Structure 1
Amino acid sequence: MLSGVQGVLFDKDGTLFDFSASWSAWAASLLHHLSDGDAARARAMAQVIRFDLAAQEFLPDSPVIAGTMDEPVRLLGPLLPDWSTDALKTYLFRRAAQAEMVPPIPLAPLMQDLRARNLVLGVATNDAESIARDHLRQAGILDQFAHVLGYDSGFTPKPAPDMLLGFARFAGLNARAVVMIGDSTHDLVAGRAAGMQTIAVLTGMAGAAELAPYADHVVPDIGHLTQLLA
């Protein structure tokens, strides 16, 4: 069980939202548009971001899964000579903000329950802060979070613990009183380095065997959090 928890810090993609259900169709559509009908270019782009075009899903070792928005810009840029870096990044930001996020469970009741327990809630994501806020707003839960931090919020991205320690400082909490919930080793390594309790969920692309060494608990999804808090 968890002990002395006063704050809950969530990763976004793969944690608050099911990664494959939210991002696979988006990525397929993105590659189709950027390739402009060039099948060879589409295959090349899919290869560098580790996306299976036939299965229409990311491969578990894709660097895009836990990386920042700078990662797809860096990988795709050389294959898109007609795009400037700034134009490509602006386009990806806009498309990402419009992505349809699919939660693994109804989110509003869970957040309301956690708030009723007087817990401080936050999000620490390697996505951009503005995109994270858009997704949380679309899900109707933005106002449940005291702090939303992205890779561009002034902190070194995960797996560095900086963003997590920033949340603890903003919330006025000892890091040990915060539980970090994530779907990747980036999240859990950051949580351990920050001195937080850690929970792994299986709604991302990593399996239990990969996550377990870095997690105090491994659960199917964030809906199991209330049992651990009981």
Structure 2
Amino acid sequence: MKALKAVIFDKDGTLFDFSTTWEAWAAAFLRRIAVSDAQAELLGRRVGFDIGRQRFAPDSVVIAGTPMEVALALASELPELTVDELVDVLNEEAASAPQAEVVPLTPFLSLLRGMDLKLGVVTNDAEAPARAHLAAANVEDGFDFIAGFDSGFGAKPAPGQLLACAQAMNIAPEQIVMVGDSTHDLLAAQRAGMRAVGVLTGLAGHETLAPYADEVLPDISALPDWILSQ
């Protein structure tokens, strides 16, 4: 087996804790965009979010979907907005969502850099809010490649973003590991010919991720030791 030379991370649920960040944000966003509590509840159901309990369903489109997919799920209830306008609103609101780092990212990424690894982020979020979140955590410059669903390479579970990252880094796919919290991440890794590691800081459990992963870790803090064991 060839030695690993790069790590590609998903963002939400991997670098940043999904529930802490997005459940409170989703409730506030739906109440802002809706004209009534009843409409906010209906919009929540359209995207698999219980606004009363502030909980996402395991199959919510928000968890691994793109802003376009979320917008399409909401569009029939918001006829005053076009789908493109709704995507713009979602991206603007997402950019301001406060992020909760799973671990302190600056020393964590420095550790990986010290292992002579290149680093990337590929997310089904849009690129602009993704960069805003990474910049707010002071780690945007720590990555060699950052792509969102709108960066021109497609979206997970298709492998386009991952292959674009491999090409930009000039590293063979089999020498890269993709780390993510959803089956979309792990399937994209398989399709790109990369190693796949799942983490449990999103909403998917071990039993969901394990069939698609080379390993499932509690969170990214366990990744350096796993890499050294390969």
The reply on whether 1:61 has 2:55 as its aligned counterpart is: no
Separation in 2, partners of 1:93, 1:162: 21
Question: Which consecutive residues of structure 1, in runs of 5 or more, have no partner in the other structure?
Answer: none
Q: CA deviation at 1:82?
A: 2.0
1:154 corresponds to which residue?
A: 152
Q: Deviations over 1:58-117 (max 9, x none)?
A: 111101210101012111111112223333222211110000011111111110011111
What do you get for the CA RMSD once the two structures are aligned? 1.2
Q: How does 1:57-206 map to 2 (within 5 A)?
A: 57-206=55-204
Shift of 1:145: 0.1
When residues 3 and 15 of structure 1 are mapped into structure 2, their CA distance, relative to the original with a 3 A threshold, is: farther
State the alpha-carbon separation in 1 of the partners of residues 88 and 180 from structure 2. 27
Per the alignment, residue 23 of structure 1 pairs with: 22
| Structure 1: 4+ residue segments shifted above 6 A | none
**Rounded Cα–Cα distance in structure 1 between residues aligned with 2:73 and 2:51:** 17
Cα deviation digits, residues 10-67 of structure 1 (max 9, x gap): 000110111111100100001111113x122112101110101221121111012101
| Contact 2:119–2:143, Cα closer than 8 Å, also in 1 | yes
CA gap of 1:78–1:208, structure 2 versus 1, over 3 A, is same
Question: Equivalent residue of 2:100, what SS?
Answer: coil
Aligned length: 228
Secondary structure at 1:65 match in 2: helix
Q: Please give the alpha-carbon distance, in whole angstroms, between the structure 1 residues aligned to 2:156 and 2:89.
A: 24
CA contact (8 A) 2:2 2:174 kept: no
| CA drift at 1:121 | 0.3
- Say whether residues 1:6 and 2:5 are aligned partners: yes
Paired with 2:62 and 2:159, the residues of 1 have a C-alpha distance of 19
Percent identical residues: 46
Aligned to 2:31: 32
CA contact (8 A) 2:15 2:101 kept: yes
Quote the offset at 1:133 in angstroms. 0.6
SS at 1:198 equivalent: strand
Normalising by structure 2, report the TM-score: 0.96
Structure 2: distance between partners of 1:22 and 1:107: 16
Q: Which runs of 5+ in 2 are unaligned?
A: none
Paired residue secondary structure (2:7): strand
Within 5 Å, give how 1:210-221 maps onto structure 2.
210-221=208-219
Q: What corresponds to 1:47 in structure 2?
A: 45
CA offsets 1:142-192 (integer angstroms, 9 cap, x no match):
111000011111112110111111111110001010000000000001101
Query: Hey, what's the Cα distance between the residues in 1 that align with 2:154 and 2:81?
Result: 27
Paired with 2:96 and 2:2, the residues of 1 have a C-alpha distance of 38
